[in-house]
Structure 1
């Protein structure tokens, strides 16, 4: 017998707010989360704008209502968490609360945690004192001093702040969750892959419930420079119009940050506790395509994922309510993504609306795909689809049918993500109608 898997809880930290209600309100009213950067110096960046999760300060109140012991445990451990890990832990706690899940009433051996993340970069300040101790009289760094004078000045537990498996580990430890636990680090593809693995873990009977989360950032003293060197960052004077997926005038991505978590439950387990069901997960896919020199082929990877999502969900292209595209706002990659979507949908490409929430908040790194999946689940639940906010003139090389204001979200959605290396991932969800 097939085990059906449903979404029953949402936790969010995003540039559009830290709840499902705040996210949907911003999307429904076409409100951008892009503004002038406040958390990092922007003088060396090609833009002074980004999408910061300004409502998250890592104060204990940002983790939702907590019992006294849980509050104390999280507070004590915040000092060994970088911002991405803090956000990742917070969204799990917010998700548990949103789902109305009483942990003492369930079998914790059957509830697991699966998270996606980027590689987590150390803040330069972690090594400042140690590096200073190794500067010689000529003002040059002397590496021979590092072992005796540099390393001892580094905080002994600094590495614990940046291990990408720790969001899932902290969540499991804080909540005494003893089910399957795993962490995936595949850049922007991580969100959908984490949801997919959690979905299949329940489907194959290894758990009854899974917290599937992701956390990421492109706003960081070092990471933002990495992005600038490796990828195109949008330039312009109007922050709300910088991220322009599929628009003929797009010129690069907007950097952002965030985290998200959903509670997945086996249907009968969710119904037994009277859970409110948000949507059903019905398919997943993953594909990486590159040539022998490692040059990515995003068009083929995206087409593969859309086809696999259709096949695993037993859907025809015409039955897709909408596509939630990666929609990075990159000149080359948007074109290839659009062409991959069109190739997979065939004759239905002119009829299936395509949206992209990155037009509201840019690239949230590993967290973007899950925030976007939640946005589409809310659209299915509400019946209406948010448009690509900044799309004015569709690039003729992007053969998609862009979502417009007033479009129906339909009954199903395929959510897509893809990395610069050609790793694509997708999740198919269906509107819940009992």
Structure 2
């Protein structure tokens, strides 16, 4: 059976650059950063007071866009069992559906589904305040022997539902009566591309006509932020330089933490044309690859090069046909070196010719949420026919011999771009999309 063509008909995003497409696009085109001093956490206790916070997203029902009365009641009722990651993911999905012009009843529920990528979701410490206090002995020390009898009864019965990584896909499917394929993928930063690729293949092989593909994540969180500063190469310091994410730049200090979510409405071409939908782009190819060395350490350059080769093969294009690469561009030295090595291996003599943009320079590392937000950034750039420059890029790292632009450059609206993301563990995902 000939695979069906898969197109994009709706976009929604929640990011440090706003919660609507216009503000997001304007920020990219004007070179406006969403990285600022942290407001949601006690910044003075952290090695750096800067982050890309999605400040416009408050979790209020208004943040979910123009939702109908029945859906409003359902979403509002369930907000109490959604952590912030889940709330952002659901809001991005609802906004993508609204942008596509779809409403309840416009699609066959059993031929419609949801596939979402996410990080592992961490509990807020205050969830266990009462339970922990109930287990203290006379010396004020925690006693595990008291946990079953005294601690567990103090935990909210629905606590776990707030933090399960499959809940974004579950909530979106329930709110919109989508009974078809439903899946959740947790591969850190590679989650978005993997989810989008799985959604594309599900429609292409005829198992669904319509899928919401999304991803959500955060590094701005009472517990996750501490983990990030302990585990990841963070740009530290209290000066303004610590608040700059500078991918591939010689003077970069490390990644900047952020939060956000993105979602795309994917349809088979026939389904989209039948309802007269506006087509925003076509997903041509997908790939995911993992690279490991003999000593079990990640081989990210190989994973990146393989993912790029596979996505182009899947899309039926050559490396020379790529309009631009929306890179992972973390802004950490080893990560950028590995990415440059993988892209150079794949591109060969085209390495310093193919335009590369790093949108994390605008909003930091959104974790699993970043990949689809970046895809939306590329689609909006094609609509504007102007690819934004990598923010703050001034001095090329000699080990990153790529065509990183600091200034906006004109592009066509119908070119093919590749979005690339990878995890510290060596998992890389890539998506090839043609604009219209």
TM-score by length of 1: 0.97
Q: Does the 8 Å CA contact 2:12/2:92 hold for their aligned counterparts?
A: yes
Among 297, 303, 306, the residue aligned to 1:304: 306
Tell me the equivalent position of 1:188: 189
> Once the 2 structures are TM-superposed, how far is the Cα of residue 241 of structure 1 from its aligned partner?
5.3
More off after superposition, 408-417 vs 149-158: 408-417
Q: Does the 8 Å CA contact 2:131/2:155 hold for their aligned counterparts?
A: yes
> Once the 2 structures are TM-superposed, how far is the Cα of residue 297 of structure 1 from its aligned partner?
1.0
Tell me the equivalent position of 1:292: 294
Q: Does the 8 Å CA contact 1:189/1:366 hold for their aligned counterparts?
A: yes
Q: Tell me how far apart the structure 2 counterparts of residues 105 and 363 of structure 1 sit (CA, whole Å).
A: 36
More off after superposition, 307-316 vs 46-55: 307-316
Q: Does the 8 Å CA contact 2:36/2:243 hold for their aligned counterparts?
A: no
Q: Tell me how far apart the structure 1 counterparts of residues 368 and 323 of structure 2 sit (CA, whole Å).
A: 25
Q: Tell me how far apart the structure 2 counterparts of residues 174 and 406 of structure 1 sit (CA, whole Å).
A: 39
Q: Tell me how far apart the structure 2 counterparts of residues 231 and 311 of structure 1 sit (CA, whole Å).
A: 33
- After superposition, where does 1:35-434 map in structure 2 within 5 Å? 35-236=36-237, 237-238=239-240, 242-410=244-412, 411-432=415-436
Q: Which runs of 5+ in 2 are unaligned?
A: none
Q: Tell me how far apart the structure 2 counterparts of residues 232 and 285 of structure 1 sit (CA, whole Å).
A: 27
Q: Deviations over 1:360-379 (max 9, x none)?
A: 00000000011001111111
Aligned residues: 432
> Once the 2 structures are TM-superposed, how far is the Cα of residue 404 of structure 1 from its aligned partner?
3.9
1:9 alignment partner, SS class: strand
Q: Which runs of 5+ in 1 are unaligned?
A: none
Q: Deviations over 1:54-75 (max 9, x none)?
A: 0110111111112211111111
> Once the 2 structures are TM-superposed, how far is the Cα of residue 274 of structure 1 from its aligned partner?
1.3
> Once the 2 structures are TM-superposed, how far is the Cα of residue 239 of structure 1 from its aligned partner?
6.2
> Once the 2 structures are TM-superposed, how far is the Cα of residue 240 of structure 1 from its aligned partner?
8.5
> Once the 2 structures are TM-superposed, how far is the Cα of residue 133 of structure 1 from its aligned partner?
1.1
Q: Tell me how far apart the structure 2 counterparts of residues 126 and 77 of structure 1 sit (CA, whole Å).
A: 17
Q: Deviations over 1:308-351 (max 9, x none)?
A: 11111111111110011100001111011011111101121121
Q: Tell me how far apart the structure 1 counterparts of residues 68 and 106 of structure 2 sit (CA, whole Å).
A: 16
Q: Does the 8 Å CA contact 1:285/1:426 hold for their aligned counterparts?
A: yes
Q: Deviations over 1:71-120 (max 9, x none)?
A: 11111111111011111111111111111013313211111100000000
Q: Tell me how far apart the structure 1 counterparts of residues 122 and 274 of structure 2 sit (CA, whole Å).
A: 42
CA distance 1:406–1:153, change in 2 (3 Å): closer
CA distance 1:184–1:201, change in 2 (3 Å): same
Q: Tell me how far apart the structure 1 counterparts of residues 332 and 411 of structure 2 sit (CA, whole Å).
A: 25
TM-score by length of 2: 0.97
Q: Tell me how far apart the structure 1 counterparts of residues 136 and 104 of structure 2 sit (CA, whole Å).
A: 53
Q: Tell me how far apart the structure 1 counterparts of residues 46 and 214 of structure 2 sit (CA, whole Å).
A: 30
Q: Tell me how far apart the structure 2 counterparts of residues 406 and 107 of structure 1 sit (CA, whole Å).
A: 42
Q: Tell me how far apart the structure 1 counterparts of residues 364 and 314 of structure 2 sit (CA, whole Å).
A: 29
Q: Tell me how far apart the structure 2 counterparts of residues 145 and 66 of structure 1 sit (CA, whole Å).
A: 46
Q: Tell me how far apart the structure 2 counterparts of residues 54 and 210 of structure 1 sit (CA, whole Å).
A: 28
CA distance 1:329–1:243, change in 2 (3 Å): same
Q: Tell me how far apart the structure 2 counterparts of residues 155 and 41 of structure 1 sit (CA, whole Å).
A: 26
Q: Tell me how far apart the structure 1 counterparts of residues 124 and 342 of structure 2 sit (CA, whole Å).
A: 37
2:430 alignment partner, SS class: strand
